[in-house]
């Protein structure tokens, strides 16, 4: 029995060591592949380099420079929708305003919708980009209010009415922030003949047929249909015709 226990402990120790080494090995593999892709890009072997970049991104690894190169490659291939998709990802990763200028340039050139930059759009973009930071700030203030409530109750022997009221409001604000913030998502149309339907069904009427490159706001999903805001109306597009802008 003791031998079995020792054997099991050795196995467990070995498994833990192996598990700990996997992220490092994974990072090394991605780093090597990124260097290979960059070398191919420098050699102007763009298609081959893109294949490596794409595999790295599928593994949830990326650098802003890599995303920018992917956008450059796709633009060179004439894939406007794909190019704008990677430009959007690049902006999400870097907040480089020159990416916004490039997106506006392409949108104007190809008469694409969804790239307007009103004050409301700028605010929503800022809010979405710093969604996690705002969540952390609200959580930190909530912890502070909770500590203050406990101190008032236990040490000062008073009812923490003010701090508890603020804490209650913060809970509601954080809940709304988490719910609505996650729903602020955009997607790029990548199918050159994309049907915008009036409902989440192939039997619904066609509102419009649009090309690739347009950017839409995602409002929800039902089965394989994404509910989107398009040209001031609500429509539905099959999810395989869209690439959500998220890393």
**H or E, element range at 186:** strand 185-189
Are residues 219 and 204 part of one domain? Answer: yes
The CATH number of the domain holding residue 52 is 1.25.40.10
Are residues 218 and 136 part of one domain? Answer: no
- What is the pLDDT, as a whole number, of residue 163? 77
pLDDT at 9 over 60: no
Number of folded domains that form the chain: 3
pLDDT at 158 over 90: no
> Is the residue at 116 inside a domain?
no
The domain of 208 spans: 185-244
- What is the pLDDT, as a whole number, of residue 21? 43
In the sheet that holds 242-244, the strands lie side by side as 206-210, 194-197, 233-238, 225-230, 215-222, 185-189, 242-244
């Amino acid at each position: 029995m003791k031998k079995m226990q020792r054997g099991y402990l050795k196995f467990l120790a070995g498994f833990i060591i192996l598990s700990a080494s996997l992220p490092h090995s994974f990072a090394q593999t991605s780093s090597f592949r990124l260097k290979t892709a960059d070398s191919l890009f420098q050699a102007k072997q763009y298609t081959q380099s893109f294949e490596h970049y794409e595999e790295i991104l599928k593994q949830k690894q990326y650098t802003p420079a890599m995303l920018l190169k992917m956008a450059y490659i796709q633009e060179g291939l004439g894939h406007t929708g794909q190019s704008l998709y990677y430009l959007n990802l690049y902006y999400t990763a870097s907040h480089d305003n020159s990416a916004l200028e490039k997106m506006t340039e392409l949108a104007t050139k190809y008469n694409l919708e969804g790239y307007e930059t009103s004050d409301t759009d700028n605010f929503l973009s800022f809010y979405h980009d710093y969604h996690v930071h705002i969540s952390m700030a609200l959580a930190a203030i909530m912890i502070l209010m909770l500590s203050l409530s406990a101190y008032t109750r236990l040490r000062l022997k008073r009812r923490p009415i003010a701090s508890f009221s603020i804490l209650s409001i913060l809970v509601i604000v954080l809940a709304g922030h988490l719910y609505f913030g996650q729903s602020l998502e955009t997607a790029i149309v990548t199918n050159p003949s994309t049907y915008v339907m009036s409902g989440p069904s192939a039997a619904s009427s066609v509102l419009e047929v649009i090309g690739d490159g347009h950017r839409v706001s995602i409002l929800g999903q039902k089965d394989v249909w994404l509910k989107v805001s398009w040209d001031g109306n609500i429509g539905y597009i099959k999810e395989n015709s869209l690439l959500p802008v998220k890393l």
